Amino acid sequence: MTRSIRNGPATFRGTPAETYFMAQEILVERLFEALINGDRATSRSIVEEAISGGAGPALVMTNLFWPTHELIDRMHRADQLGRIGYHFATRILRVLIDQTAARLPRQNFNGKTVFATCGTAEGEELGAQMAVDLLEASGFRVTFGGGGIPADEILSHVQEHQPSYLVMFCSAASDLPGVRQLVDQLREISACKNTKLAVGGGVFNRAEGLADEIGAKLHAPSPLELVRLLINPEQFLARRAEAEQREAARVAAQRAEARAAMKKRRAA
């Protein structure tokens, strides 16, 4: 198996890093336990263990930090993680992300600019930060506003600076009315016609088809996928459409087989 970030900060081929992350679920569970217990020393040592085992910083971000972040967020939303554990975890994870991002190899500027925002929760901003760090390392020129920026200020910034992409990553359900309004306004304002909107993570992962429903054609489930999407949107979307067609064909074939088997049993 090969993991890569196309034209991004690093390329990983099945070497010690791949072998190491065969135990990814165990590593994520260990980091999760250390984070929610506020164990800063153990959290740092797990990251160093991963890097010493052959995982580069981009792989640590995408295969360790991102799934751990998703687990923390999921447990918190399900009321299975208390506020103190959530605060311990998000504060330590932010430091670890900052430290690991500083190790990312940097690509030259690729000519594309990104203005990124996110939801207001601490966890939403953490997820968006990972996406921003990987985008920047991949050659994008990025400005990151975090959460809580009014829609009119976002729109004003986009009009003034004309970024290649407006990215809204890791948004909560409560942010959807503002996101919908922003999408509609961007369509109406011809001055922003060169800025493309991309969304991902958060509620867009939990509600299938939501991104398309609100008119955000560019959407990605994870920071790594967002990088791939924004580097070459046409290629990314074409591959996703092919994958969706294959999945639809597979499901249709299974249903046909099930109907045929049922018909055979009835005839017997």
Residue-level pLDDT at 244: 77
Mark whether 132 and 216 lie in a shared domain.
yes
Residue-level pLDDT at 172: 76
* Mean pLDDT calculated for residue range 129-145: 96
Mark whether 226 and 256 lie in a shared domain.
no
Looking up residue 71, the CATH number of its domain turns out to be 1.10.1240.10
Mark whether 66 and 117 lie in a shared domain.
no
pLDDT band at residue 234 using 50, 70 and 90 as cut-offs: confident
- Model confidence at 8: pLDDT above 60: no
Average pLDDT, rounded, for the chain = 85
Residue-level pLDDT at 176: 80
Residue-level pLDDT at 263: 81
Task: Please say whether the beta carbons of 34 and 90 come within 8 A.
Answer: no
Mark whether 222 and 260 lie in a shared domain.
no
pLDDT band at residue 38 using 50, 70 and 90 as cut-offs: very high
- Model confidence at 1: pLDDT above 70: no
Burial tier of 44 (Cβ tally within 10 Å: 0-12, 13-18, 19+): middle
* Mean pLDDT calculated for residue range 258-265: 82
What lies within 8 Å, CB to CB, of 19 at 6+ separation is 54
Mark whether 35 and 95 lie in a shared domain.
yes
Range of the domain at 142: 113-231
Task: Please say whether the beta carbons of 139 and 103 come within 8 A.
Answer: no
pLDDT band at residue 29 using 50, 70 and 90 as cut-offs: very high
User: In this prediction, what percent of the chain has a pLDDT beyond 70?
Assistant: 90
Cα–Cα dist 48/16, whole Å: 15
Mark whether 24 and 123 lie in a shared domain.
no
70-126 per-position pLDDT tens digit: 999 999 989 999 999 999 999 999 999 999 999 999 999 999 999 999 988 888 899
Higher pLDDT, 39 or 203: 39
Domain closes at, from 101, 133, 159: 101
In a 3-state reduction of DSSP, which class is residue 189?
Answer: coil
Please count the structural domains in the chain: 3
How far is C-alpha 49 from the chain's CA centre?
24
User: In this prediction, what percent of the chain has a pLDDT beyond 90?
Assistant: 47
